[in-house]
Amino acid sequence: MKQTSQSQSQSSVIEVNHLSVRIGHKPVLTDINLTIQAGEVTALLGPNGAGKSTLLKSLCQEVAAETGQVKVHGQELKKWDRSQLAKSLAVLPQHASLTFPFKVEQVVEMGLYPLTLSQRQGEQLIDLQLDRLDLTALKHRSYPTLSGGEKQRVQLARVLTQLAQSDKPAILFLDEPTSALDLAQQHRVLKLARSLAHENNYAVVVVLHDLNQASRYADRLIVLEQGKIVSDGAPAAALTPETIRQVWKYDPIVVMEPGKQTPLLF
């Protein structure tokens, strides 16, 4: 995909209008309105049960909306042909269930399904994604023998392969992608997410629990509480001490990272 700088004008890739979701008799999301831009990392934050993962799933039709509308690249989500949508939108769930003894490279190869590549081009693309995620040494390992963190990185390599030929700004949804990773790999994955947004014009939407990681790597933070958006903006504006006290019931110490507008929370 052609590279672009973050300074170039950003485009709207997802529009959400008056979205509400109810699971059983319980309202989970209420009147959500937002626009997601290409070229940005947008982090969804909030305590357990705030509606973060439900919102992410609503944006890719995994969860049905009670009311409201979601548009992807200007077209209603429900009107998209699924195979066409798969070229521009990919989801990395919290847990990917796969028990067959596939090799790592075969799992990543599944991401080639919507693409039109020669065998050689496909092999090169797989090798690129494995290298990006520090998985080259595991290429021939059996997937079920991997650790939880290694499996998570393999699945990320698969979805990045899926988006490699998008003819529109690619949309990447990550649901707690660092939950099974050690510290170094957490930062590696989040740096990659930021690079994809800033250099390749991806729209990255990520659910995170670590507020400091969100503040450091995301351009925009959306804070949810009880299914409603209570704060939306750049990290310094969205994560004020007042918001943290209200949403997480915690009184933080906030320090600005030297030379940056990044709040560090203690």
Among the ranges given (2-6, 99-103, 175-179, 188-192), the one the predictor scored with the smallest mean pLDDT:
2-6
Residue 194: how many other CB atoms lie within 10 Å: 20
Q: What pLDDT is recorded for position 118?
A: 87
- Residue 9 reports pLDDT greater than 50: no
**pLDDT tens per residue across span 98-133:** 778 899 999 999 999 877 788 899 999 999 999 999
Domain boundaries, the chain: 12-88+166-265, 99-165
Q: What pLDDT is recorded for position 8?
A: 42
Q: What pLDDT is recorded for position 263?
A: 85
- Bigger pLDDT: 2 vs 100: 100
pLDDT confidence of 183, banded at 50, 70, 90?
very high
**pLDDT tens per residue across span 28-63:** 999 999 999 999 999 999 999 999 999 999 999 899
Which amino acid, 135?
Answer: L
CATH number for the domain formed by residue range(s) 12-88+166-265: 3.40.50.300
d(C-alpha 41, C-alpha 37), whole Å: 9
> Dihedrals φ, ψ of 2, to 5°?
-65, 135
User: b or e along 145-161 (b: 16 or more beta carbons within 10 Å of the residue's beta carbon)?
Assistant: ebeebbbbbbbbbbbbb
